[in-house]
Amino acid sequence: MLILRKQGLYCEAGDFYIDPTGAVERAVVTHAHSDHARRGAKKYFTPRSGVGLVRARLGANIQIEGREFSEKFPLGPVSISFHPAGHILGSSQVRLEYRGEIWVVSGDYKRDPDPTCEPFESVPCDVFVTEATFGTPAYHWNKSADLGRELFEWWEKNRAQGINSVLCAYSLGKTQRVLGLLAPFTSRAAYIDPAAVALTECYRAEEISLLPTISLASLDANTRLSGELIVAPSSFLSSERVGILGDRYESAFASGWMAGGQSFGRFAGYDRGFTISDHADWDDLVRTVRETGAKRVYVQHRGKGALVRHLRGLGMDAHSDAELAKEPPRQMSLFGA
Supply the minimum distance, in Å, between the C-beta of residue 300 and Zn ion: 9
Please choose, out of 94-102, 106-114, 256-264, 280-288, the segment that lies near Zn ion by the rule CB under 5 A. Answer: 106-114
33 binds Zn ion (CB under 5 A): yes
The least CB distance from residue 175 to Zn ion, in Å, is 13
Helix/strand/coil for 56: helix
Based on CB atoms, which residue is closest to Zn ion, 86 or 260? Answer: 86
**CA dihedral angle for residue 222, residue 228, residue 233, residue 235, rounded to 10 degrees:** 40
The CA-atom distances, in angstroms, between 98 and each of 5, 74, 203, 241 are 20, 10, 34, 53
Pairing of strands 16-18, 24-28: parallel
Among 46, 89, 92, 108, binds Zn ion (CB under 5 A): 108
73-75/78-84 β-pairing: antiparallel
Which is closer to Zn ion, CB of 217 or CB of 322?
Answer: 322
Residue 12 phi, psi (nearest 5): -70, -40
Q: Could you tell me if 30 and 13 are in contact, meaning their C-beta atoms sit under 8 angstroms apart?
A: no
Judged by CB under 5 A, the stretch of 31-39, 67-75, 292-300, 302-310 that binds Zn ion is 31-39
**Quick check: 317 binds Zn ion (CB under 5 A)?**
no
Q: How far is the CB of 34 from Zn ion (least distance, A)?
A: 9
- Choose one: 5-13, 64-72, 107-115, 260-268; the region binding Zn ion (CB under 5 A): 107-115
What residues pair up with 45 in beta bridges, in sequence order?
Answer: 28, 65
In the 3-class helix/strand/coil scheme, how is 201-219 assigned residue by residue? HHHHHCCCCCCCEEEHHHC
72, burial (CB in 10 Å: exposed 0-12, middle 13-18, buried 19+):
exposed
Nearer to Zn ion, 109 or 154 (CB): 109
Nearer to Zn ion, 166 or 180 (CB): 180
Residue 309 to residue 299: CA distance in whole angstroms: 11
Nearer to Zn ion, 46 or 158 (CB): 46
Residues 198 to 237 in contact with Zn ion, rule: CB under 5 A: none
Interface with Zn ion (CB under 5 A), residue total: 3
Instruction: Kindly tell me which of 108 and 114 has the beta carbon lying closer to Zn ion.
Output: 108
How many CB atoms are located within 10 Å of the residue 209 CB? Answer: 12
Smallest separation (angstroms) from Zn ion to the CB of 35: 5
When the beta carbons of 35 and 68 are compared against Zn ion, the nearer one is 35
CA atoms within 13 Å, Cβ hemisphere of 251? 17
Q: Which stretch binds Zn ion (CB under 5 A): 16-24, 60-68, 101-109, 225-233?
A: 101-109
Among 15, 35, 146, 327, binds Zn ion (CB under 5 A): 35
Q: Minimum CB separation from Zn ion for residue 25, in Å?
A: 23
Given a contact cutoff of 8 angstroms between Cβ atoms, the answer to whether 104 and 126 are in contact is: no
Q: Kindly give, in sequence order, each residue whose CB lies less than 8 Å from that of residue 113, ignoring residues fewer than 6 positions away.
A: 119
- On the 0-12 / 13-18 / 19+ scale of CB atoms within 10 A, 328 is exposed
Q: Which stretch binds Zn ion (CB under 5 A): 34-42, 71-79, 198-206, 325-333?
A: 34-42
Minimum CB distance to Zn ion, residue 76 (Å): 26
Least Å from the CB of residue 69 to Zn ion? 17
CB of 91 to Zn ion, least distance (A): 7
Residues that bind Zn ion (CB under 5 A): 33, 35, 108
